[in-house]
Amino acid sequence: MKQLTLQMSLSKSFKIISVVLLLLGFATLEPLFNMSRVSFAAPANSYKITRNTIDHLQREGFSKALAGMFVPMLDKTYQNRKDFLDAFPIFLGPEQREIIIRYASTEQIKIQADEFSSDLNENAAVFRGNVKGFIPRENIELTTAKLRLVSGPDSDFEKLIGEGGVQVKQWDREVRSDYAVYTQIDLEITDADSAAAKKIRAPKQTMELQGNVLMKATQGTVRSDTVLLDLLRQHATLEGQDSSKEGRIRVEANLSELETSRGNQDSATQETGDETQPISEPRKVILLASRAVLDNFKHQAMFEGDVEMERTPDNLYIHAGKITLRLSELQELQSIQAEQEVCFEQPGRVAKANRASFDEISQTILLEGDAEVQSGKFHLQGTTINLYLDVNKGVAQGANKAPIQMTILGAQSPSIFKCR
């Protein structure tokens, strides 16, 4: 067993997208793990508290108030252990001090493998057989069959390639794939539009996952054939293997977990006087699609290719060629836009149209283009139909110049159409 220690520089923290969280919270971007640079050089150890450090301390049992006392030390670098400990705002016992040191240290990534080889001409290192890596600072564990590390001559290009059973764990989060490539490029390009032809930085950070991709967290899971993450743009593209149900992207999101920070209305049982509020069912979403594009900066997630979306406990099912989810800056779902042969079902109602807009704020649905609704014994048709999300309200209206045609069906009339 050979071991090589590589310095993991975390001078600047970048988010790797946790796609599960991005998707349906709908679609929050949270850090899955943070990786800034892998370098073959091993400078002296130093200490720095980042936002990630504060998060890790709370996961280790520090109270929010205690962890918050270290906020004034954020992003300050201390060159040795003594200076770092002297800067503490409060006296702590040995155990708590060591926990903080672990997550504040610019700790080295430690890699173990059955075999190790290097190529100085290519500035590369290769690990083979039972490869295990650990980054104490971020509580990240990495395992794979083969790991290749490549660095550019001027440290402007670095790549980490995992092949065979790639698995990355951090706390309750996990990513698996057959093949993974992390790339960092830190180039300078000439601004042609500048009179002085000045140089500007053009950094890029990407991660590509291929083959049997699985992402898991408390908030849900994502399965895909390939995932391409642009870490700086906070943008992700997912591709399924084929158009079959098994080959498409599959997303399972626990909305209740995603909403815990909002003091949502689906809280657990509470007693008020003699009254007891019932426990709400967990809110979940299952979504299938051939392709997805997720953009945190735009606060939206787009799915296309035979898209199916099912939400419980309200039992809303949507089938369309394309579905776009739009969110607020707080990552609360604002609307669902469905296009291309849209059909949706709710208990007691089925509807179809060329386009459908589900407004989560006003709790209404707008159907546009060849709209049809069957609700109980009523069959509605029109160019434009407005509905409430709550089937029991049952109010519908057409546009000013597009009246609704209503047909009253027999009590035992079968469904005119179905979505699945």
* Better pLDDT: 304 or 6: 304
Q: What is the mean pLDDT of residues 253-272?
A: 51
The contacts found for 239-244 with CB under 8 angstroms, 24 or more apart, are 239/290, 239/291, 240/289, 240/290, 240/291, 240/305, 242/290, 243/290, 243/305, 243/306
Q: What does the pLDDT look like over 274-296, one tens digit per residue?
A: 444 455 677 888 999 999 999 98
3-state secondary structure 13-24: CCCCECHHHHHC
Predicted confidence at residue 260, as pLDDT, reads 57
Bridge partners of 249?
Answer: 289
Neighbour count for residue 82 (Cβ, 10 Å): 9
CB-CB contact of 360 with 334 (8 Å): yes
Q: What is the mean pLDDT of residues 14-25?
A: 31
CB-CB contact of 146 with 130 (8 Å): no
* Better pLDDT: 4 or 362: 362
End-to-end CA distance of the chain: 55
The two tokens of residue 89 are 């705002």
Predicted confidence at residue 32, as pLDDT, reads 34
Is residue 265 very low, low, confident or very high in pLDDT (cuts 50, 70, 90)? very low
Whether the pLDDT of residue 109 is over 90: the answer is no
The DSSP element (H or E) to which 54 belongs, if any, is: helix 51-59
Coil, strand or helix at 229: strand
Is residue 5 very low, low, confident or very high in pLDDT (cuts 50, 70, 90)? very low
Q: φ and ψ at 17, to 5 degrees?
A: -70, 125
The two tokens of residue 401 are 């110049």
Predicted confidence at residue 217, as pLDDT, reads 85
Is residue 416 very low, low, confident or very high in pLDDT (cuts 50, 70, 90)? confident
CB-CB contact of 229 with 12 (8 Å): no
Q: What does the pLDDT look like over 35-76, one tens digit per residue?
A: 333 333 334 478 989 888 898 899 889 999 999 999 999 989
Question: Which CATH number does the domain 314-408 belong to among 2.60.450.10, 1.10.287.110, 2.30.110.10, 3.90.1150.10?
Answer: 2.60.450.10
Q: By C-alpha distance, which of 378, 346, 347 is closest to 365?
A: 346
Predicted confidence at residue 406, as pLDDT, reads 64
Whether the pLDDT of residue 192 is over 90: the answer is no
Is residue 323 very low, low, confident or very high in pLDDT (cuts 50, 70, 90)? very high
Whether the pLDDT of residue 408 is over 90: the answer is no
Q: What angle do CA 253, 255, 256 make, to 5 degrees?
A: 130
The pTM (predicted TM-score) of the whole model is 0.74
